[in-house]
Amino acid sequence: MYKVIDIPGLVPFVQKYISSGWEGISTFSILVVIAFLAASYLLPKELERRNLEPSHADWLLILGVFGTFVGAKVFFIFEIWDQIFVDTPGFDGKYLYPLTHADGFPGRPGLWSSLFSGSGLVFYGGFLFGILFISLYMIQNKLDVKSYLDATIPSMALGYAIGRLGCFVSGDGCYGFATHQHIPLLTFTYWPTSAVPSGVPVWNTPVMEAFVSFLFFIYFQKWARFQNFKKFSLGAQYLILHGLARLAIEFLRVNKAVIPFFDPPVQSNIPGATGETTTFLNGYYWHGFSQSQYVSIAIILVGIYFLVKWKLWEKEPVPA
């Protein structure tokens, strides 16, 4: 007989934050699965082509996906930190209250409810944690970290492109602010049932990022991986290319500045689905580097550092 372990409060927690209100599989989830399947097809083939061990592909993918979701949630909490831990009249315990109350302060996102919700994912958190998890796996198994990371780059670029399309079809929060330009695919008016309905044309930043990342995938898949560059050249190139693309697109996105260079918009926090989104998006503008832009600059510098230090533009000598 199996003994059922009863953890006090676990069932109500699961019912409230994991199983309640489920309305079926979302389009974002479907595209995430497609991205995973695409990577699971490409990665073993690339490992085999490089005379590496394809048997490690499954663990690299699983740990990469797991690390991506963990890191994306952790960075999301840092991004909305000022909305969770606030000075609210009538409430004592700015830091204690969100820790002990799953929903946080009334009318604001809660710490625990945000952590375990289906929305709220910050890419760079997932990117860094994903690399960390698979790097630890490779170190633990005494694998050639540089070579294995290079092998993952085409799959990573493709997975990111598909994931950004998932953000677009779900109407998630990676959209741009309002614009009077009318450029096919580059501007878009989100439908009323999206996560944050706009009712006004906005910069279609998810599709922009998806398109650029597809170009990166073609570059790495069709050309760069056959050039016999030194180990980790593809990794360093991807850090630089992706960092530059993300840095540029962030100028059009709705994202709060870490340290504002200009006066921020009057309504600086992203409103909920019932908020006055039209006014908010029309009044939004870039007012300083966001968290993602600072991370972009950091990974660009890291990529340049390794590129120069190890002269990664050079090619490995061809065996006689």
CB 229 within 8 A of CB 313: yes
Closest CA to 208 of 240, 258, 251: 251
Distance CA 22, CA 264 (A): 36
CB 34 within 8 A of CB 63: no
CB 84 within 8 A of CB 110: yes
Paired tokens of 218: 């073609």
Please name the residues in contact with 94: beta carbons below 8 A apart, sequence gap of 6 or more. 85, 86, 87, 88
Q: How far apart are the first and last CA of the chain?
A: 65
Closest CA to 179 of 288, 281, 286, 289: 281
DSSP-derived secondary structure for 53-93 = -GGGHHHHHHHHHHHHHHHHHHHHHHHTHHHHS---TT---
Does residue 164 have a known ligand-binding role?
yes
Q: Is 38 left (phi over 0), alpha (psi -120 to 50) or beta?
A: alpha
3-state helix, strand, coil in the chain (%, to 5): 55, 5, 40
CB 296 within 8 A of CB 222: no
Residues annotated in a binding site: 164
